[in-house]
C-alpha cells in the first residue's frame, strides 16, 4: 500500500514496479488516488479523513501519482480531503475527480474502490450513482451477489464515450510478457541479497 515517505523515492519505486508489471503482461492499477498514506483508518470499516493542506497534498501525496499518471488504470479512495471537499469521499466528489484528472494529470480508466466498503453511506444504488455522477468511469463491486451486481449495473448505467475510450486504451496497453529465465532471476536475486547482507 505504501512504498515509503519520501515522494521522490516512492515515485521511482512506483515507476519501476509499473514497468515490471507491464513488461510481464499485467496491467497495474494505481491506487488509491489521490492518496491514502496519511490515515490509519480502514475504509472497509469507517470513513477516513485527511486534514492536510492543499500545498502539503500537492508536494507529498500527489507527487507519486503524477509520476505514474500515464498508466492505463487507477482506483479512487473512499476518504475525505477536507482541503478540497469536506462533505464527500474522493470516490463521490466531483472536486476530487477533477483533482485526479487536472492536478495529478491522470487520464486513464478511473474505477471506484469496492462499493460495499463501510466508508460509503446510502444504499447500493446511491453508492454506485454518486461516483458515476462525480466522474468515475466504472464502479467496482466485489461481493459477488447477483442481485447486488444487477443493482450496481443499473445504477452505473452505460459507459460514457470518454470512459469507453479509456477502457479501450487500457486494454491496448497490455503487452506480450517478456521471456523469463528462472535460473537468471534466481541468480540475480541471490546476488542482490548477498550484496545487501555483506554490503
* Residue at 27 is within a domain: yes
d(CA 106, CA 96): 12
User: Whole domain around residue 189: which residue ranges?
Assistant: 7-198
d(CA 185, CA 64): 28
- 59-80 pLDDT, tens digit each: 999 999 999 999 999 999 999 9
d(CA 190, CA 160): 49
Nearest residue to 117 via CA among 170, 25, 47, 30: 47
Confidence band for 197, pLDDT divided at 50, 70 and 90: confident
* Residue at 22 is within a domain: yes
- 78-122 pLDDT, tens digit each: 999 999 999 999 999 999 999 999 999 999 999 999 999 999 999
d(CA 79, CA 91): 8
- 121-156 pLDDT, tens digit each: 999 999 999 999 999 999 999 988 999 999 999 999
Maximum Cα interatomic distance, the chain, rounded to a whole number of Å: 59
* Residue at 48 is within a domain: yes
pTM, 2 dp: 0.89
Q: What pLDDT does residue 194 have?
A: 87
Number of domain units in the chain: 1
The catalytic site residues sit at 44, 113
As beta bridge partners, residue 110 has 74
* Residue at 2 is within a domain: no
Amino acid at each position: 500500500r505504501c512504498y515509503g515517505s519520501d515522494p521522490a523515492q516512492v515515485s521511482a519505486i512506483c515507476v519501476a514496479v509499473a514497468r515490471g508489471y507491464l513488461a510481464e503482461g499485467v496491467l497495474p492499477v494505481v491506487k488509491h488516488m489521490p492518496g491514502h498514506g496519511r490515515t490509519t483508518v480502514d475504509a472497509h470499516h469507517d470513513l477516513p479523513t485527511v486534514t492536510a493542506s492543499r500545498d502539503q497534498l500537492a508536494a507529498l501525496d500527489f507527487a507519486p501519482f503524477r509520476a505514474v499518471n500515464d498508466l492505463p488504470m487507477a482506483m479512487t479512495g473512499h476518504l475525505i480531503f477536507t482541503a478540497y471537499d469536506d462533505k464527500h469521499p474522493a470516490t463521490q466528489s466531483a472536486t476530487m475527480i477533477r483533482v485526479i484528472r487536472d492536478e495529478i494529470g491522470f487520464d486513464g480508466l478511473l474505477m471506484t474502490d469496492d462499493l460495499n466498503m463501510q466508508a460509503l453511506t446510502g444504499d447500493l444504488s446511491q453508492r454506485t450513482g454518486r461516483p458515476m455522477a462525480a466522474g468515475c468511469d466504472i464502479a467496482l463491486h466485489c461481493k459477488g451477489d447477483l442481485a447486488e451486481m444487477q443493482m450496481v449495473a443499473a445504477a452505473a448505467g452505460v459507459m460514457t464515450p470518454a470512459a469507453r475510450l479509456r477502457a479501450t486504451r487500457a486494454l491496448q496497453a497490455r503487452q506480450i510478457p517478456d521471456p523469463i529465465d528462472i535460473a537468471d532471476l534466481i541468480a540475480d536475486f541471490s546476488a542482490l541479497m548477498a550484496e545487501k547482507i555483506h554490503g
